[in-house]
Amino acid sequence: MNKTIAVAWTGASGLPYGLRLVDCLIKAGCKVWLMYSQAAQIVAKQETDLVLPTQPREAQRLLAERFNDTEGRLTVFSRDDWNAPPASGSNPPDAYVICPCTMGTLAEVAAGTAKDLITRSADVVLKEGRTLILVPRETPFSAIHLENMLKLSRAGAVILPPSPGFYHRPQNIDGLVDFVVARILDRLAVPHELMPRWGAEG
């Protein structure tokens, strides 16, 4: 595929979703622009034992090896890199996924306060009419959370909480992760074979 998908990891629990998403996008032939917050670095270590370097070049080398990205599809940007392509409407990605998305990040996107590349990229994607998917990992949702989500939904964003189903009878944690990632890939129109389709034979 020739799609360019921007992905951000923020400090909510759920880094396995973000890691699997990037892996699947690269395997599908997409170009991936990745950025992550300082809090995401902490969560990555807690949840996956992955130590994400602060320097983008070091992170890119590490993740390219992890995802077997032999064709250079992955580019990692600093969250403070205002010269990065997704910071401008003249070069937006085809779609942008914040996975996982903290309530703080979601609130900043809803308010239009582009304080770093993660939130600025969301602002750009919305104003350019591209697909923005937010994967908010929080429970329960407060009225403030719900109002921010409704505001973003009305603005054209897709709110996709990581709520795994069980009808495919997952055998392990990977099966639960794949269920959510499959839903994201479907919204991106990126082909995958992560799980059987509902009603499909076999």
Could you list the pLDDT tens digit for every one of the 202 residues in the chain?
689 999 999 999 999 999 999 999 999 999 999 999 999 999 999 999 999 999 999 999 999 999 999 999 999 999 999 999 999 999 999 999 999 999 999 999 999 999 999 999 999 999 999 999 999 999 999 999 999 999 999 999 999 999 999 988 899 999 999 999 999 999 999 999 998 888 776 5
Residue 160, Ramachandran bin (φ over 0: left; ψ between -120 and 50: alpha; else beta)? beta
Nearest to 118 by CA among 73, 60, 78: 78
Percentages helix, strand, coil for the chain (3-state, rounded to 5) are 45, 15, 45
Report how far apart, in Å, the C-alpha atoms of 19 and of each of 23, 123, 124, 126, 201 are: 6, 23, 23, 24, 30
Q: What is the CATH number of domain 4-188?
A: 3.40.50.1950
Q: What is the pLDDT of residues 139-191, one digit of tens each?
A: 999 999 999 999 999 999 999 999 999 988 899 999 999 999 999 999 999 99
Indicate the pairing of strand 31-36 with strand 4-9: parallel
Residue 38, CA distances (Å) to 8, 16, 35 in order:
12, 17, 10
SS3 79: coil
Residue spans of the domains in the chain: they are: 4-188
Cα distance between residue 27 and residue 162, in whole Å: 21
